[in-house]
């Protein structure tokens, strides 16, 4: 029922909000703010780079970036960032949530990243992979063997 129904950016916002609310009500690490912010910023920038690279690769290939309308996929993109990860935009979101958890300085908030990854693997990636196998057959199966789902 939830398969590819909730766009991943909405999932990220919901989980990020839950992380923030929970962090406000729980103890924090006594970490130096400048170090924490620098580390969180670095991971956040890496996440933005991963996501943007995937987004622009889809744009250059002329295929859809809409994760809800899977049938619109017209090209199997396997170059650039897609040689590192089959799902760089989701890796980017996971890195952004990890960055947020570090910024919040509440260790349990890292569970938000795990929840995102589990939810996305089950309700977004698995349906995408079914559609891509149907559309691109052996080419997609070979790609799956060469490149990992996340990293």
Segments making up each domain of the chain, as ranges? 8-16+33-146
- For residue 111, pLDDT over 90 is answered with yes
- For residue 138, pLDDT over 90 is answered with yes
CB 58 within 8 A of CB 88: no
The pLDDT of residue 48: 98
Q: What is the pLDDT of residues 62-73, one digit of tens each?
A: 998 888 777 888
Computed over every residue of the chain, the mean pLDDT equals 94
Q: What is the pLDDT of residues 9-55, one digit of tens each?
A: 999 999 999 999 999 988 888 888 999 999 999 999 999 999 999 99
- For residue 2, pLDDT over 80 is answered with no
- For residue 5, pLDDT over 90 is answered with no
Which residues, 6+ apart, have CB-to-CB distance to 50 below 8 Å?
A: 81, 85, 88, 89, 91, 92, 95
Q: What is the pTM of this model?
A: 0.94
The pLDDT of residue 44: 98
Which whole number is the average pLDDT over 85-102? 98
The pLDDT of residue 70: 78
pLDDT > 90 in the chain, percent: 81
| Residues 70, 91: Cα–Cα separation, whole Å | 19
The CB-side HSE value for 145 (13 A sphere, CA atoms) comes to 6
């Amino acid at each position: 029922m939830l398969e590819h129904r909730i766009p991943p950016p909405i999932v990220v916002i919901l989980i990020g909000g839950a992380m923030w609310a929970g962090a406000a009500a729980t103890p924090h690490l006594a970490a130096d703010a400048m170090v924490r912010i620098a580390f969180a910023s670095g991971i956040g920038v890496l996440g933005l780079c991963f996501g943007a690279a995937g987004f622009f690769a889809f744009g250059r290939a002329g295929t859809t970036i809409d994760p809800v309308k899977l049938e619109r996929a017209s090209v199997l993109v396997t170059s650039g960032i897609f040689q590192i990860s089959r799902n760089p935009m989701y890796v980017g979101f996971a890195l952004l949530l990890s960055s947020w958890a570090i910024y919040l300085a509440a260790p349990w908030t890292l569970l938000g990243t795990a929840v995102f990854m589990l939810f996305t693997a089950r309700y977004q990636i698995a349906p995408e992979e079914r559609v891509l196998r149907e559309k691109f057959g052996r080419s997609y199966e070979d790609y799956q063997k060469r490149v990992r789902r996340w990293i």
